[in-house]
Chain A
């Protein structure tokens, strides 16, 4: 029973892939170490796309941390720390709605999510105004948007898989799910 290693032949392509990975890996993100907290807070955020007459303003206020891997992993930590995870689980929802899908009640743009966290929402989203400093809210926004793949790929952190013991299960502490614009049929999740 002398089985030849199945993958021996794959050695050369593998090296190429490795080299390619190394190049891509180096381009991850530029990390700025002295991050000055964004002073800006969004104002006049619309939670309805319906504007009578001509559309006045469709520009979005950018999230200063949108592509920062550090902001995102901080956001992930804060998502646990401020008990967001208690209501939204690791993105799949519970007492609050899921945040990893592409359905948004109050808007998915950074300033919309920022305001959702600050103002609270009438069906049970608490208002965290005065409880979370603005830079941390932007970090949370980055993380929340990453759950449904709205942030650039380069900023996303690795999946942690230690509790991923059932097929189809997401990691427990840091579900990092690529954008999935449709809800896969349940049959795919035995």
Chain B
């Protein structure tokens, strides 16, 4: 829409508002003393005869100025950040790349590779033929809540883990498209766990290693079952629902260790990452996110890049009193691993409670990234993205380990699209931030100072108890939430699925009662600039900006998948499964599934040698809670304010978990 047209529309709207006021009984009178028209007086019928009508007197010149200003105001900032036109790295321009493992046609962990890039070298389905893609078989999970999980394919068997009650199905792919169930494992989690799961009872998928399928249950059990028979090998309870702990993340197996973390940042939970022995399930080490160095596993090898992250026992001294014991920093997102450096990378969640006034200090190590040696758990570096987080900007999003040409050199980096709205590119050996560029409209901060690693906060967005702060962008789920991005070494682009939401919020005093919410914030969300609530951004890490963007009406709450056929797959919350051109973003194909999609697309080679693409359909998660939990849209604060932005979802989709598998004819 042209700027001129926008202005005319805006003036038009203002006029309508004035007319509406008139219709409601407000009267406008001109204040015509001295024979000059100088002001409008708004009077409500009730106040007509009362003496304080002067309070409603608005100088006309002021009114005109305000209206004009409001109508000319353009989101210069957000616009400047949008790419002008689809721009691809011209051939010959150095682009980001990655060293790939040999393609085995399987999908053994949620992100496929340890580097977390969700890229398949299968190339039967291409940008040219994807329009012929059609569903070949489906499978109902019998569960109605949000299906965020990725299916796995190992040894011609597909494994599907449902949200609570965390049923694990093994489907036989060797029997053609009938894919019968080989076995089903039911861990029978405690039903009470549902009440302490902050944002629907989701699970982000199992992992395969050493002949076992390993997964977490909502009630904090890590379970290994025999991939061939479904027999339980071991079952270790690592958390406690009575403290508000749950588990929703997808484990990662590194060097005979199963790495798992907890959820519950809204319940006063203290975050941790644990390593369990792959063979026995016994806990080898626990690295807390808060507390003394001895418990955060910070020792002699700890060398953060920035002075702000150096010091003794920062996990205690950046809090007041014993608040670190209930301070959040849970580990419910993604873990990636660099075998050359022998380091695992993961982020920690928001500090608790959300109300920042109740936890003075930087609140380390919440909203941070850790690099750890998996053998011992020792931290090698850490970087806090959002010190003293104000808006629930968890740091748990995925870290893609790729190589990027940067200032004439190839740098081994980690790409981290954070909830605070910046894509961080960091040297993954040292934790140095090479660039941090916005991928959404941001009003809460003004960039990252690369000299000292500090996030520059906008002071006016720091709310106090009882104070309403408006126009907080991005909203609490961030510029991007858990939904994982993918990377194609063929285009050098990272495909970010994300939302475009802003919010108003009001701090309240939070009261800690173990096992109940510890939030202290009233939130009401709305769509960000442009009115579209979701986006798919193709991010060029070498250039530090978006190459192209697609807008979606609803938040893009599904993961993305990139393939060597130069196709990118993702789903929408109203149930469309889509394929777009990895180079240009051109829409190539779409199919409407039974329920909204918030799952992680994957692809595999079937026993018949054909390439298949699979996705779970089944709306829910935080963004879909209004449907999954039958929430009442009359309360805008429902689901921590998310319902306000998603009021129309019940008219666009219904619940129900189904797997869809697609192939070419």
Contacts and interface: CB of A to CB of B under 8 A. Distances in A.
Interface string A150-190: 00000000000011111011101101010010011111011
B631 A80 contact: no
Given A7-B48, A162-B468, A189 B647 contact: yes
28 contacts: A1-B30, A2-B29, A2-B30, A3-B27, A3-B30, A6-B22, A7-B43, A11-B48, A14-B45, A83-B511, A83-B518, A86-B266, A86-B518, A87-B517, A92-B634, A92-B637, A94-B625, A95-B517, A162-B468, A163-B506, A163-B637, A168-B636, A169-B636, A169-B644, A170-B635, A172-B524, A172-B637, A173-B522
B193 interface: yes
B28 to A, nearest CB: 6
B642 to A, nearest CB: 8
On chain B, which size bracket covers the interface?
35 or more
B195 A6 contact: no
A130 B625 CA distance: 31
Contacts of B194: 123-124
Contacts of B193: 124
On chain A, which size bracket covers the interface?
35 or more
B197 interface: yes
A122 B165 CA distance: 14
Contacts of B634: 91-92, 100, 168, 170, 175, 177, 180, 184, 189
B613 interface: no
A10 interface: yes
Nearest to B266: A86
A187 B43 CA distance: 32
B632 A93 contact: yes
Interface in A65-116: 80-83, 86-87, 89-98, 100-101, 103
Nearest to B470: A165
A49 interface: no
Interface of A: 1-8, 10-11, 14, 80-83, 86-87, 89-98, 100-101, 103, 120, 122-126, 131, 162-166, 168-170, 172-173, 175, 177, 180, 183-187, 189-190
Contacts of B504: 163, 165
Interface of B: 22, 25-30, 32, 37, 43-46, 48-49, 191-198, 266, 468, 470, 504, 506, 508, 511, 513, 515-519, 522, 524, 526, 625, 629-640, 643-644, 647-651
Contacts of B45: 6-7, 10, 14
Contacts of B633: 92, 168, 183-184, 186, 189
A168 B638 CA distance: 13
Nearest to A5: B27
A124 B524 contact: no
A83 B517 CA distance: 6
B648 A189 contact: yes
A97 B192 contact: no
Interface SS of chain A: loop
B648 A187 contact: yes
Contact of A87 (B30, B191, B516, B632): B516
B632 A98 contact: yes
Contact of B516 (A83, A103, A123): A83
Contacts of B629: 93-94, 97
B58 to A, nearest CB: 14
The winner among A7, A122, A177, A183 for most chain B CB atoms within 10 A is A7
B637 A170 contact: yes
A4 B637 CA distance: 41
Contacts of A172: 506, 522, 524, 636-637
Given A94-B631, A163-B637, A166-B644, 12 more contacts: A11-B48, A83-B513, A83-B516, A87-B516, A91-B635, A92-B631, A92-B632, A93-B639, A94-B629, A123-B194, A126-B192, A186-B649
Given A92-B638, A189-B647, A165 B524 contact: yes
A90 B647 contact: no
A166 B197 CA distance: 28
B635 A100 contact: yes
A86 B198 CA distance: 9
A142 to B, nearest CB: 19
The winner among A80, A82, A103 for most chain B CB atoms within 10 A is A80
A139 B651 CA distance: 36
Contacts of B518: 83, 86
B22 A94 contact: no
Contact of B195 (A14, A87, A131): A87
A184 B518 CA distance: 31
Q: Which 9 A-B pairs have the closest CB atoms?
A: A124-B195, A86-B517, A92-B635, A92-B638, A7-B45, A169-B636, A83-B516, A98-B632, A189-B647
A171 to B, nearest CB: 9
Contact of A101 (B195, B266, B632): B632
A25 B193 CA distance: 46
Contacts of B643: 89, 92
A6 B631 CA distance: 41
A100 B44 CA distance: 32
Contacts of A5: 27, 29, 43, 48
